[in-house]
Amino acid sequence: MSNSVAIVTGASQGIGRSTAIRLAQDFSSIVLVARDRAHLEATADAVKSAGAQPLVLDLDLSEPAAAQTVVDRTIAAFGRIDALLNIAGAVPQIDLFEMTDAQWDGGLALKLHGARRLTIAAWPALKETKGAVVLMSGNSALFPKAPYAAVGTINAAIVALAKAFSDRGIADGVQVNSVLPGPVMTGRRESYLAHWAPLHNMTVEEATAKFPQDAGIARYGRPEEIAELMAFLVSPGARWITGSMLRMDGGEVKSL
């Protein structure tokens, strides 16, 4: 789309980085938001090579003022917002009975409240362009378990939040959906497996093979595959999809 602007949070790595690079095929400008400046600059180089103009904003979206800063700097640079993809936020995988209030608050601050504040701040601009919003959730929203209770709880809240935004969006012309990925092989997952394997007397290779088997899937997903879904949801072809939660999980969830 000519003269079109997408904001991607969590753009320094993983699904966020892959989504930003993929969207460079469809949007003229990509705003890259995350805390790690060096990794954002690397994403910006890839976005530029893919054909779009990047804007790097190294901000912590768990800080309340950051959302308005993102919107203000985006409008100052490009004059509009056509799509917002809320991908930032890693929630600690800590047992329900061990996770502290501070750890709960930290998980909520970025993934839930950061996305909520940024969507609200961007809403007037999205209303003008009849734009699209995607909020990143995860399959754990559908089956929260004690060992990672916060992940499931926060992901479920994000699905509900997206539904609420989509309800307002019907009147305002803003499309809102949530995406629920299954197990995706990102740098964060690689680090987790490297930590988990020796604690369970496994090699990293054994641990890496174990998780897809336990999930009943053939393989891990790739960040680029989730990026394709994200790109579709903010494309003209998806305009009648709103208020939906879309799973992409290799068949992990067996229920209807």
CA distance 140 to 178: 13
What is the spatial distance between Cα 253 and Cα 17, in angstroms, rounded to a whole number?
26
| Rounded average pLDDT over 190-200 | 88
| The dihedral sign for the CA sequence 187, 43, 130, 226 | negative
Write down the pLDDT at residue 147: 87
Q: In this predicted model, what pLDDT tens digit does every residue of 9-34 receive, in sequence order? A: 999 999 999 999 999 999 999 999 99
pLDDT in tens, 213-228: 988 999 999 999 999 9
Measured in degrees and rounded to the nearest 5, phi and psi for residue 115 equal: -65, -40
- Tell me how far apart the alpha carbons of residues 243 and 8 are, in angstroms, rounded to a whole number: 20
Can you tell me the distance from the alpha carbon of 249 to that of 217, in angstroms, rounded to the nearest whole number? Answer: 8
Dihedral, 14, 53, 117, 175 alpha carbons, nearest 10: -90
CA dihedral 208, 211, 217, 218 (to 10 degrees): 20
Task: Using alpha carbons, select from 80, 66, 70, 68 the residue that is nearest to residue 29.
Answer: 80
Evaluate whether 187 touches 256 at the Cβ level (below 8 Å). no
- CB burial class (10 A; 0-12, 13-18, 19+) of residue 5? buried
Q: Do 48 and 58 contact (CB within 8 A), yes or no? A: no
Q: What's the residue count for the chain?
A: 256
Q: What is the mean pLDDT of residues 105-109?
A: 93
At 237 the pLDDT is 97
For residue 16 the two structure tokens come to: 């966020």
- Considering only CA atoms, which of 45, 53, 86, 18 is closest in space to residue 228? 18
Integer Cα distance of 155 and 178 in angstroms: 10
Residue 155: pLDDT over 60: yes
Neighbour-count burial for 88-115, b at 16+ CB within 10 Å, e otherwise? bbebeebeeeebeeeebebbbbbbbbbb
Q: Over 60: is that where the pLDDT of 1 sits?
A: no
> How buried is 25 (Cβ within 10 angstroms: 0-12 exposed, 13-18 middle, 19+ buried)?
exposed
pLDDT at 90: 82
Q: Which CATH number fits domain 5-183+222-248: 3.40.50.300, 3.40.50.2000, 3.40.50.80, 3.40.50.720?
A: 3.40.50.720
Domain ranges of the chain: 5-183+222-248, 185-220
Q: Render pLDDT for 68-104 as a digit per residue (tens, 0 to 9).
A: 999 999 999 999 999 999 999 988 888 999 999 999 9
